[in-house]
Structure 1
Amino acid sequence: MALLSSKIFPYVKSYLIKNQNRPLLVEGAGLLPHLVKELECQASSYLCLTPTADFQKKHYIQREWVPYVLEGTTNPEQAFENWMQRDILFAQMVRKEAMKLGYSSLVTDGSQPENQTAEEVARLLKLSNKNRRNI
C-alpha cells in the first residue's frame, strides 16, 4: 500500500503545487504524511482521518464493487478479512507517522453525526467559521 502511494503521489503533488494558493480538501491513501511533508505543508494544513477497524469492515463490505474483487479468490471471506487487516495496519501506520511528523490525526468510528466530525476536522485544521455550511 505504501509503495502504491509513492507511485500515486507525484500526480497528486503536481496538482497540489499548482493549486497551493487555494484551499483544498483532498482524500486518499496516496497522501501519506511523509510524502505531504515533502511539500513543506504546515502542520495545521494537513489531517489524517482514519477509521477504526470496526468502521472499516462495516462500511467497506457495503461497497458494491467489493464482491467483484473477491470473486476470483478461493476463499472470499478470508480474502476480505486479509484485505481489511492490511488496511487496518495501514491506518495504524499512517496515524503513527502523522504523530511523528507533527500532523493531526482523527480516528472515526462513525458514532458521531457527520456535522460533528466536520466540526472537529475544522477545529483541528484551524478553519474559520465563516462561510461554513451544514452538511
Structure 2
Amino acid sequence: MHSAPHDGVRRDRLRHVYWIGGGSGSGKSTIARRIAGRCGMRLYDTDAVMGDHARRMPAEQAPYLGEFAAMDMDERWVARSPREMLDTFHWFHGEGFDLIVEDLLALPADRPVIAEGFRLLPDLVRPLLTDVSHAVWLLPTPAFRQAVFDDRGGPAWGFIARTGHPEHALQNLLQRDALFTDRLTEQTRRLGLHELRVDSTITEEELARQVSMVFGLEN
C-alpha cells in the first residue's frame, strides 16, 4: 500500500493531477466539478469506476472485496458494528487503488486533471505527489453528514432502503463514516497534507475557493 519501486516515475507523470479526497458526502464531487469547469481541467471521478475496478481486480488482490461481495445487504450494513465495517471495507484498504493510478496514467496529459473520491487515501496518494499543494482532503463533521443523508431521504435512500432495518443500517453507516473521517484526519496530519473541515456553515462557493487556494489556483 505504500511506496513502490516505480513511484518516482509515476510521480513525475502525475505531476499535472490534483487530488480531492475525503469523507463520503463531504462535497468532493461538487467542488471538483466547479473547479474543473472554471479552470478547464479534466475530471476523474473514482466513484464512477468502482464497478469497473471491482470486475478487473483478480480475487487474490481483493480479499476484502470478495468477502463483501459474498454478504447480503443485512450482513453488510446491519449485523456488523461500525468499527468492523470500517476495518473490513475493501476500498478503505486501498484495494483497486493501482487501477486508479493506471487510469490516470492513461489519460492525455494535455491539461490538468482533478481526481476525486473517498478512495484517494492519504497514505496512498502521498508517494505520488511532487507538490503537497496538489492534494486536499475534505473532512465532514458528523452533523454535516447527518444533514446530507437527511437531504437524500434518510433511511429511504439508496442501498440503505434495501436492508431489513434501514434506520439501524443508516446509523451504522454514519458511525462508520465518522470513524473513517477520524482516520483520514490522523493520516493527513501525520503526513503533512492539507485538510479542510466541512460543516453546515460553509457554502459550496466558499469551499471551492478554499480548495482552489490550496491548489494555488487563486491568489
TM-score range, shorter chain: 0.7 to 0.9
- Paired amino acid for 1:53: P
**Residue equivalent to 1:113:** 203
In structure 1, stretches of 5+ residues that fail to align are: 130-135
* CA apart distance, 1:71: 3.2
* Structure 1 Cα separation of the partners of residues 131 and 156 of structure 2: 36
* CA apart distance, 1:114: 1.6
Does the 8 A contact of 2:156 with 2:166 survive in 1? no
Q: Secondary structure at the match of 2:169?
A: helix
* CA apart distance, 1:118: 1.2
Q: Deviations over 1:36-95 (max 9, x none)?
A: 123234211000012111111111243369534223434321210111000111011112
Identity %: 29
**Residue equivalent to 1:27:** 116
1:54 to 127, 136, 143: 143
**Residue equivalent to 1:75:** 165
- Paired amino acid for 1:109: D
**Residue equivalent to 1:132:** none
* Structure 1 Cα separation of the partners of residues 131 and 160 of structure 2: 40
**Residue equivalent to 2:152:** 63
Q: TM (normalized to structure 2)?
A: 0.52
From the CA coordinates, give the structure whose radius of gyration is larger: 2
Q: Secondary structure at the match of 2:115?
A: coil
- Paired amino acid for 2:204: E
* Structure 1 Cα separation of the partners of residues 213 and 158 of structure 2: 39
The answer to whether residue 94 in structure 2 is matched with residue 4 in structure 1 is no
* Structure 2 Cα separation of the partners of residues 31 and 57 of structure 1: 22
Higher helix share: 2
* Structure 1 Cα separation of the partners of residues 156 and 104 of structure 2: 30
* Structure 2 Cα separation of the partners of residues 30 and 53 of structure 1: 19
The answer to whether residue 116 in structure 2 is matched with residue 37 in structure 1 is no
**Residue equivalent to 1:124:** 214
Is the alpha carbon distance of 1:40 and 1:117 closer, same or farther for their aligned partners in structure 2, counting shifts above 3 Å? Answer: closer
Q: Secondary structure at the match of 1:58?
A: helix
* Structure 1 Cα separation of the partners of residues 204 and 192 of structure 2: 25
* Structure 2 Cα separation of the partners of residues 91 and 51 of structure 1: 7
Q: CA RMSD in A?
A: 2.4
* Structure 2 Cα separation of the partners of residues 55 and 61 of structure 1: 10
Higher strand share: 2
1:94 to 181, 184, 205: 184
Aligned length: 129
Q: Secondary structure at the match of 1:47?
A: strand
* CA apart distance, 1:19: 4.5
Is the alpha carbon distance of 1:19 and 1:98 closer, same or farther for their aligned partners in structure 2, counting shifts above 3 Å? Answer: farther
